[in-house]
Amino acid sequence: MTRDFRLLWGAEASSKLGTSITQLAIPLIAVSTLQATAFQTTLLYAATWLPWLLAGLPAGAWVDRMRRRPVMIVCDLVALGLFLSIPVAAWLDVLTIGQLLAVSLAAGTVAVFFDTANQAFLPVLLTGDDLARGNARLQGTESTMQVAGPGLAGLLVQLVGAAAAVLVDVASYAVSALFVWRIRAREPRPEPKRTRLRRDVAEGIRFVAADPYLRVLTAFGAMCNLGLIGYQSLFVVFLVRDVGIGAGTVGLLIAVTSLGGIAGAALAGPVSRRIGTARAVLLFNIGAMPFGLLLPLTGTGWRLAFLIVALLAIGVGVVAGNVLKASFRQQWTPPELLGRVLVSMQVLNLGAMPLGALGAGALASAVGVRDAMWWSTGFLAVTGLFLLIGPIKSRRDLPSRVVVGVGV
């Protein structure tokens, strides 16, 4: 792997470590310090992902009109300032649920631009088999940070409080911006667009809608995320209030179960080479999701095993599937359309998340948190069947076309 990819990899590692800490610290602030209700906690998750619905499509068109590296640096610096406001407000004793929601919404908007630019920038640094290996390393790194982050978050919360733990995320954005700034590869300046932004957006949507593979993967991603974010948005409330687990133990449990993601990143390549990429996508996604039905059975003592088994299995399936789908998407899509195609898919995939969070919050208010977990995981269990609708089920391997990298 090249020096530039290693820098991008380092930026990803730093950013994901900080983000995984914040993803646990902010709900803990809401639940333990601000006494948030289950519905208010799910609103925090909804606010994080709502920008994909509000700004996702134009973001893809804008990213395709700009060099991706400067976009990523600016996004890191803006996110740094946003998350710094949380510990500052806590120290001044003025932190509110409203501020947490505002920061989550603004940071989610920044993430739309960063994630789109990041995925579209990777094929500039890597091509062919290196691109698949690069995606596997990035996914594996994300899972590794999800192991380290919650455990570190739990420890930091106990030592210095949840608000101060957010400072690690602030530092991670500074490191990420520095690493991306040091990347030497330069993209050619995109040709000036003479078409309207609306037409560019529509072109990306049409490409996804017309392609039988991307269309099915998009529908599956949206349905799967409805179930995933449904139980995840209730997870901290469920463990702290229903199961009776302390903040430090919550972090430790999430850290242990995130090992499934590391295993998934490691298994994606070998399994796909042995049985084919299309069959591997079906195996990982259809096989893993029913394990979510074990989560509502979680309790104290030996019943914590239900949670560990479920999250390990889901971690393997989700991460391995993401590695394979990301590599296919980056090699299958023409480079000049990649940003818009990525966002067209993500608007539905990630735009489903606020709907899943709000739905889970409404269910929890109506029938209780544990019953709401049953509804979310029951829906998740059958989402893999969406992959059987299109041509993926009849192929050994996903198709590919050569995408030529530039600026290396």
Q: Are 16 and 164 in contact (CB under 8 A)?
A: no
Residue 137 has pLDDT above 60, yes or no: yes
Arithmetic mean of pLDDT, 306-325 = 88
Residue with tokens 């995606």: 135
- What does the pLDDT read at residue 143? 60
Higher pLDDT among residues 16 and 284, named by residue: 284
d(CA 82, CA 19): 13
Q: How far is CA 105 from CA 52, 99, 123, 246, 349, in A?
A: 10, 10, 29, 27, 17
DSSP class of residue 94?
-
Over residues 189-206, the pLDDT tens digits come to 666 655 566 776 777 788
Residue 88 has pLDDT above 90, yes or no: yes
- What does the pLDDT read at residue 405? 39
Q: What is the pTM of this model?
A: 0.69
d(CA 408, CA 1): 12
Q: Are 325 and 281 in contact (CB under 8 A)?
A: yes
Residue 408 has pLDDT above 70, yes or no: no
The proportion of the chain whose per-residue pLDDT surpasses 70, expressed as a percent, equals 87
Q: Kind and range of the H or E element at 191?
A: none
Six token digits for residue 128: 């062919």
- What does the pLDDT read at residue 247? 65
d(CA 154, CA 28): 10
Q: Helix axis angle, 212-237 relative to 3-28, nearest 10°?
A: 40
CA dihedral 24, 86, 361, 288 (to 10 degrees): -30
Six token digits for residue 162: 């949840």
DSSP for 15-35, please give it. HHHHHHHHHHHHHHIIIIIS-
Domains delineated in the chain: 3-183+200-394 (1.20.1250.20)
Six token digits for residue 244: 């009776």
Residue 177 has pLDDT above 60, yes or no: yes
Q: Taking CA 295 as the corner, what is the angle to CA 293 and CA 298, rounded to the nearest 5 degrees? A: 130
The proportion of the chain whose per-residue pLDDT surpasses 90, expressed as a percent, equals 23
Q: Which amino acid is at 163?
A: A
Q: Are 293 and 381 in contact (CB under 8 A)?
A: yes
- What does the pLDDT read at residue 173? 92
Q: Are 46 and 353 in contact (CB under 8 A)?
A: yes
Q: How confident is the model at residue 275 (pLDDT cuts 50, 70, 90)?
A: very high
Least confident window among 80-89, 128-137, 158-167: 128-137
Q: How confident is the model at residue 187 (pLDDT cuts 50, 70, 90)?
A: confident
User: Of how many residues is the chain composed?
Assistant: 408
